[in-house]
């Protein structure tokens, strides 16, 4: 647990989750709008280059993938609920990227920071596999958390700053896939 300072308000009992699910622009809004979410930042993780830039990550030479780091109040929203929502934002059968975004820098990964998070993520992945909802196996990896490097400001809250480009990105297969495969 950590303490997160947002403005002048100190929030305690904060936990974090890190999810990679393709383009980070499309991974912020689904989480940011939930009760109990304190902050969502786009960034890079899983690679070997410290403090990478967007251009470096996009070149697929850093080992990093685009991801979001989520600060949340576990008394309001559980990690289990966040993992469930994560599955519904991704194609868990595609290890080579997500939707129109191809390459290792768009690979789907759940980065866990504790044995409890690992247990939740692994159980959730197994339950999804057992449902046989998809024709292909679930290939999303579950890995230990690594340093998370916050992306440049232009990538933060992209869906608010650039709604037209964000809509185009969502139309690149993600929205249709979600509608087809995640009817609640």
Of 160, 88, 164, 161, nearest to 131 (Cα)? Answer: 88
Q: In the chain, where do the E strands start and end?
A: 2-6, 9-20, 37-45, 65-72, 97-98, 101-102, 109-112, 141-144, 149-150
Beta strands in 21-148 (DSSP E): 37-45, 65-72, 97-98, 101-102, 109-112, 141-144
Question: Roughly what angle, to the nearest 10 degrees, separates helices 115-130 and 79-87?
Answer: 40
Query: Which of 20, 23, 28, 120 is labelled catalytic?
Result: 23
Check if 23 is active-site: yes
Could you give the residue numbers annotated as active site? 23
């Amino acid at each position: 647990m950590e303490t997160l300072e947002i403005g002048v308000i100190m929030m305690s009992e904060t936990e974090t989750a890190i999810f990679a699910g393709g383009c980070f622009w499309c991974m912020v809004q689904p989480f940011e709008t939930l009760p109990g979410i304190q902050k969502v930042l786009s960034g890079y993780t899983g690679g070997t280059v410290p403090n990478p830039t967007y251009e470096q990550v996009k070149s697929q030479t850093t080992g990093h993938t685009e991801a979001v780091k989520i600060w949340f109040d576990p008394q309001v929203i559980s990690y289990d609920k966040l993992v469930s929502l994560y599955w519904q934002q991704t194609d868990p059968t595609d290890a080579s990227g997500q939707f129109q975004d191809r390459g290792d820098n768009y690979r789907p990964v759940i980065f866990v920071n504790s044995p409890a998070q690992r247990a939740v993520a692994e159980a959730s992945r197994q339950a999804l596999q057992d449902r046989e909802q998809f024709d292909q196996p679930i290939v999303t990896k579950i890995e230990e958390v690594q340093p998370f490097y916050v992306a440049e400001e232009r990538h933060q809250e992209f869906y608010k700053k650039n709604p037209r480009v964000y809509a185009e990105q969502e139309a690149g297969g993600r929205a249709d896939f979600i509608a087809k495969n995640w009817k609640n």
